[in-house]
Amino acid sequence: MRKSIIQKIKQSVEAATGLTFYYDTPQTLNVRLERATFPCAMLHILTSGAVDVNNAILKERLTVEVLFTTTSRLDFDGVDVEDNELDKLKLKAFQWLLALMRSRELRLVSLNNTNRYYATDDAIYSAYGVNVTLEEIQGVTLCDYPAETPEETPEDPAETEGAATT
């Protein structure tokens, strides 16, 4: 069975960084994070994706943001503490980006930007976000799905009998 592009991203992040990977719909990801182990990585799909067609090979392409996330310890020097935490997460993100350059399943089409997310009064998480466009290396071809052939019609038994007796 083929792995989805999301499964490939999950596997690549976990293998490169050792972090637990979370993915859910934007509406319910916060519920999953309530029980998460930190630091972790989580996926946010930014576009609905696309299919690249080249030489009769179809490949899925997604623009995503992977957030390397931790809980924040807020104190009077909160920004300094968060910057130290975010620098550690940035190194995890860079480990993953370097691993993508050697990947046999995903191709880094573009590194669009990075973001630092700081904890606020209503969010206790800080994150280093990497916005990338990824594409599957192995696509789907016509060989994967052969064309349907019409069923052969059985011979008429009367014709067969007549041919056999003559």
pLDDT tens digit sequence for 33-58? 888 999 999 998 776 778 888 888 88
Q: How many domains would you assign to the chain? A: 1
Assess whether pLDDT exceeds 70 at residue 157: no
Bridge partner list, 136: 106
Query: 165 pLDDT exceeds 80?
Result: no
- Mean pLDDT for 151-157 is 57
Label the pairing between strands 40-45 and 50-54.
Answer: unpaired
Q: Is residue 38 included in any domain, yes or no?
A: yes
Please determine, for residue 22, whether its predicted confidence score (pLDDT) is greater than 90.
yes
Residue 135 confidence (pLDDT) above 90:
yes
CATH code assigned at 132: 3.30.70
In a domain, 55, yes or no: yes
pLDDT band of residue 149 (cuts 50, 70, 90) is: low
Q: What residues pair up with 129 in beta bridges, in sequence order?
A: 67, 115
CA distance 90 to 69: 10
With b for 16 or more beta-carbon neighbours within 10 A and e for fewer, the 68-103 pattern comes to bbbebebeeeeeebbeebbeebbebbbbbbebbeeb
Whole-number percent of the chain with pLDDT over 70: 79
Domain-embedded: residue 154: no
Give the pLDDT band (50/70/90) at residue 83: confident
pLDDT given at position 39 = 95
| Residue 122: per-residue pLDDT | 66
Residue at 166 is within a domain: no
Mean pLDDT of the chain: 83
Q: Would you place residue 90 in the very low, low, confident or very high pLDDT band (cuts 50, 70, 90)?
A: very high
Task: Return phi, psi of residue 65, to 5°.
Answer: -120, 125
Higher pLDDT, 130 or 75: 130
Q: Which range marks the domain in which residue 116 is found?
A: 5-141
What pLDDT is stored for residue 160 in this prediction? 52
DSSP characters over 53-104: EETTEEEEEEEEEEEEEEE----TTHHHHHHHHHHHHHHHHHHHHHHHTT-S
Q: Per the structure block, which two tokens stand in for 61? A: 């392409």
Q: Parallel, antiparallel, or unpaired: how do β-strands 125-136 and 57-71 relate?
A: antiparallel
**Where residue 25 falls among pLDDT bands split at 50, 70, 90?**
confident
